[in-house]
Chain A
Amino acid sequence: MLRKAALVLLIAGLPLAACAKKPPAPVEPPKPTLPDTAGQGAARERARQDSIAAAERARAEAAAREATARATAVLQEMVFFDYDVSELRQDAQEALGRKVPILRANAGITLRVTGHADERGSLEYNLALGMRRAQSVKDYLAGFGIDGARIQIDSMGEDQPLDEGHDEAAWAKNRRAEFGITGGGNAITLPGS
C-alpha cells in the first residue's frame, strides 16, 4: 500500500520534477515545449520541492495508516471459548495480551466487547452467557491496568453466529467475544514504532 502510493506520486511528479529519489540515475527531462526562462526554472524548482514534501507527507500518512490498520486488526481479533464457560482459554489470553500494549499506548481508545454463544442453551440463558464472556474479557484486561471505563460490554446471545452450521466446528466459531472500537480508532500508535 505504502509503496504503491509512493510510486503513483513519483510517476505523477515525473513531468515536473527532473529527478526521482530512486534510482538516483539521471532521468532525461521531458522535451520542453516552451523556451526555458529563468522564471520557469524557479517555478519548476518550487514544484520539485513541493512534490518531494508531498511524497514524504504521503509516506508518513501511509505509515500511520498502516500502523492503525495493524493495531486495529490486533484489537479486533476475536477470542473463542469452550462450551458453556466464560473462562478464558490460553489462546484467548494470548490474543488479549497482544491488545494490551496497544491499549496502553493509546489511552484514547475505547472498546465495545460483545459476547456470543452457540445455539445450544436457551435464548435467554445464552444472553447471560455472552455477557459473562464479555465480562471475563473486561476483567482480564483490567488485570493489566486497562481502565474498565474504556470497555463497554454487551451480549448478543446466540443470535449472531459467525457460522450458521449446526455442528461442533460451527459452534466453536460462534462461542466468542468480538471487539468494536468505539473511540480513538482513527489514529493508533503501534507501541515500539
Chain B
Amino acid sequence: MRRLLAALLTLLACAAPARAQQDTARPPGIRLITRYAPATRPALAIRPFAGANAPAEVLDSLTTIVRRDLEYADRFSLLQTPAALATGAVDYQQWNALRVMYVVTGELTPAAAGYELELVVHDVVYGKVRVSRRLRLPAETSPAFRLAAHAASDDVVRTITGRPGIAATRIAFTRQNPRAGGPTQTYDLLVVDSDGFGQRRLGGVAGLIFSPAWSPDGTRLLYTQNQGGWKLVERDVASGTVRTIDVGQANMITTPGYSPDGRRVAFAMWQTTAMELYEYNLAERCCLKRLTTVRGDDQSPTYSPDGSRIAFMATRLGLPHIYVMPANGGAQQRISPYVHGQNGYYTSPDWSPTGTEIAFHGHWNSRGTYQIMIADAARPGAQIRQLTSEGANEDPSWAPDGRHLVFTHAGVRGSSPGLYVVDTGTGTRRPLTTGTDAYRLADWSPVLLTAADLEVAGP
C-alpha cells in the first residue's frame, strides 16, 4: 500500500507542449508529482458486540462485518479492543489514555423475525454517548442480514464524520464466460456487496452484456445486450423482471446511464454511420432526442449530479478524449489533456455523484497502459490526478460518497486480476472481487439501505 501511495501521481497538463520533449518516459508538458494531503483519521475501536441471548456466531459475524466496513470506509484508524475494556461500562478515561476518540458498542437481542441491535457511538473525548439507536435486523439466515449490518456501519460513519457511508451498497458488473469451444459466448450480470462478500449472479445471456448502470433509487439496472441485435434493457433487481426499452431501430446501443432524477436515460447508439449520444424520456416513454452530431464516435454519457451537464467520450481528435456539454446538447468542452504529437487516449468517464470530479481511464501516449485518472470538471484542462500506476486499470465508477472508486485491474506480478476499490482520499487500494480477468464494467450502486429504514420506533 505504501508503495502505491508513493506511486500516486498527479499529472499536470499545461499549455506548453514544446517543453520536455527530450524526455520520452513522460509526456511533454505534463508534470508528475506526488500529492496527498495527510488527513486526520480519528482513532476508533469497536467492542465485540454483546447479547446474552444472541448466538455467539451471530455476534461474531456482525462485529466482523461492521469492523470491516469501518476499515473500508478509510476514514478511521481502527484499534483493537483490549480484553480489559471489552465488557462492562465504557470507561472513557481508560479509552482516552489509549488515545481512542470513538468507541462503538452493540447489544443484540433476539426479536420477532430477527434481532434488535442497540448500536451506540461513544465520544471518548467528551466522555458521553454521541448517538444511540435501536435497529431491527433480519435473521442471519435472511439475504437481507448483511445489508442491514452494512447500514448499521454507515450510521457510525455518518454519526462521526457527517458524511454518508458506502457499506450498504452493491457493485454490479459483467462476467465474460469462457467460450468452451463453441461459437456462442455467454455473459452474466452479477452483483457483490461493497465489502466483496455476497456475490451473486442476477442473470445471463448467450450474447454480449455491456455497461450495467444502477437506477438512482437502486432498484433497477440498465444495460445493453447483443443477441443477434442490440437492445437497451432494464432489469428489476429484486424481481428479476427484464424489459426492453424501445428506442427504435439501431445497429448498436451502448453505455447507457440514468439522469440523477431517474426520469431520463442517455446512451450511445449507432443508427446510420457513427455512434452518437441520445436521450430518452423514460418516465413518459417518449421523446428520443439526439444530443450530438459532431464527426466521430461519441459514447459513455454520464450526468453531473444536478443533471444539467453530461460528460462523455468522443473520438473527433482521432483518439478518444473526455468532453463536457449541457445535458440537452450544445457547446462542448474537452477536459482531458491534449498534447500535440502524443497519442493520448482517455475514455469511460464517470461523474462523481457528489462533486465536480470526473473519473476516467486512459494513458498519455501509445506506450502507456491504462490508468485511473480524475479531472476537475469545473476547471477543464487544468489538472489531472492519476490514481493508479501498476498494471492496466480501467472503467472506474464512483461510490455514492464521491470518494471511493471501483475499477477493473488487469493484474500484474503479485496482484490478481479483477475488480478493485481505491480511496481517492488516501490512495488505499483493496481487492473487491478478484481471481479472474472476466469481471468488468463495474458500476457502484447508490446507498441501498440506511439506519433510518431499520430504526425501531422509540417507546
Contacts and interface: CB of A to CB of B under 8 A. Distances in A.
Interface of A: 84, 121-125, 127-128, 131-132, 135, 152-157, 159-160
Contact of B347 (A84, A124, A152, A156): A124
Contacts of B319: 84
A58 B179 CA distance: 39
A136 B270 CA distance: 14
A127 B394 contact: no
A84 B345 CA distance: 12
B299 A128 contact: yes
Given A154-B226, A155-B252, A159-B185, A124 B300 contact: yes
A185 to B, nearest CB: 16
Nearest to A85: B318
A123 B208 CA distance: 12
A122 B226 contact: no
B441 interface: yes
Contacts of A157: 208
B238 to A, nearest CB: 28
B148 to A, nearest CB: 35
Interface in B194-244: 208, 210-211, 226, 228-230
Interface of B: 176, 179, 185, 208, 210-211, 226, 228-230, 251-252, 254-255, 268, 270, 273-275, 297, 299-300, 313, 315, 319-320, 345, 347-348, 361, 370, 394-395, 440-441
Contacts of A156: 208, 226
Contact of B208 (A121, A122, A128, A159): A159
B267 to A, nearest CB: 11
A84 B347 CA distance: 15
A127 to B, nearest CB: 6
B370 to A, nearest CB: 7
B224 to A, nearest CB: 9
B352 to A, nearest CB: 20
Contacts of B274: 132
Among A127, A135, A155, the most chain B Cβ lie within 10 Å of the Cβ of: A127
A122 B297 contact: no
7 contacts: A124-B211, A128-B275, A154-B229, A154-B251, A154-B252, A155-B252, A159-B185
A128 B270 contact: yes
A135 B296 CA distance: 13
Given A124-B254, A125-B347, A156-B208, A131 B394 contact: no
B275 to A, nearest CB: 5
B210 to A, nearest CB: 7
Contacts of B297: 125, 128, 132
B228 to A, nearest CB: 8
A131 B300 contact: no
Q: List the 5 shortest-distance A-B pairs measured between CB atoms, nearest first.
A: A128-B297, A122-B347, A128-B275, A131-B252, A131-B270
B345 to A, nearest CB: 8
Contacts of A125: 297, 299, 313, 315, 320, 347
B210 A124 contact: yes
Nearest to B208: A159
Nearest to B300: A124
Among A84, A124, A152, A159, the most chain B Cβ lie within 10 Å of the Cβ of: A124
